[in-house]
Amino acid sequence: MQSLKSLAISSGLIGIIAIAACASPAPESKPANPFPNSPSSSEPKANASATASPKASEKVNEKAGKPNQGGQVVESGAYHLELVTINEEGGVHIDLFLQNGSDHSPIPDAKVSAQVQLPNGTKKALEMPYKEDGKHYGALLSETIAGEYKVVILSEIKGEKINGRFSFKR
């Protein structure tokens, strides 16, 4: 008789657990912002900048971290590195836009090179001279192997080493 009661209680508990597991969870509620006139971390940043106008002495950098040329971007300290690759018949043209991070002005006096690992594992070193007409550093990688290329940009700006890692597919 005792085991029959235990069986009935166990069955009831299992049923309750099953029903609770199938029930939809309660929607999450966000806590109210105690400072309604200040930007909250959950609010999009665009709303915060739309409501407050910068002072004339402040520079708003809306381009930070965003590609200017449609390439891959790495922000390294005070610098903006953007790699653009263009597949051509005889290889891949590699362009690096090396800019100040604050205003995206070009840096024409750096020493820049690229270490490229080909899809087959072979490594190539490329010197990347500054191209005044395009305000970028560039080189032609004369490889046509299909696959993923890994690129490490090595640059030196007035004695400071600034590096960036990128990859692209051909």
pLDDT reported for residue 25 = 46
- Statement to judge: residues 123 and 39 lie in one domain: no
pLDDT tens digits, residue range 54-108? 333 333 334 455 667 789 999 999 999 999 999 998 999 999 999 998 899 999 9
- Statement to judge: residues 35 and 78 lie in one domain: no
Counting residues of the chain whose pLDDT is more than 70, the rounded percentage is 61
- CATH of residue 163: 2.60.40.2480
In a domain, 56, yes or no: no
- Statement to judge: residues 45 and 115 lie in one domain: no
- Statement to judge: residues 144 and 95 lie in one domain: yes
- Statement to judge: residues 84 and 147 lie in one domain: yes
Nearest to 147 by CA among 120, 129, 115: 120
At residue 128, does pLDDT exceed 60?
yes
At residue 46, does pLDDT exceed 60?
no
- Statement to judge: residues 14 and 89 lie in one domain: no
In a domain, 32, yes or no: yes
What domain range is 120 assigned to? 72-169
The structural domain count of the chain equals 2
pLDDT reported for residue 59 = 33
- Statement to judge: residues 143 and 82 lie in one domain: yes
Q: How far apart are CA 124 and CA 51, in angstroms?
A: 50
pTM: 0.61
The sheet with strand 79-88 has its strands ordered as 72-76, 79-88, 91-100, 136-141, 130-131
In a domain, 38, yes or no: yes
In a domain, 65, yes or no: no
In a domain, 66, yes or no: no
Arithmetic mean of pLDDT over the chain:
74
- Statement to judge: residues 158 and 82 lie in one domain: yes
pLDDT reported for residue 1 = 54
Counting residues of the chain whose pLDDT is more than 90, the rounded percentage is 56
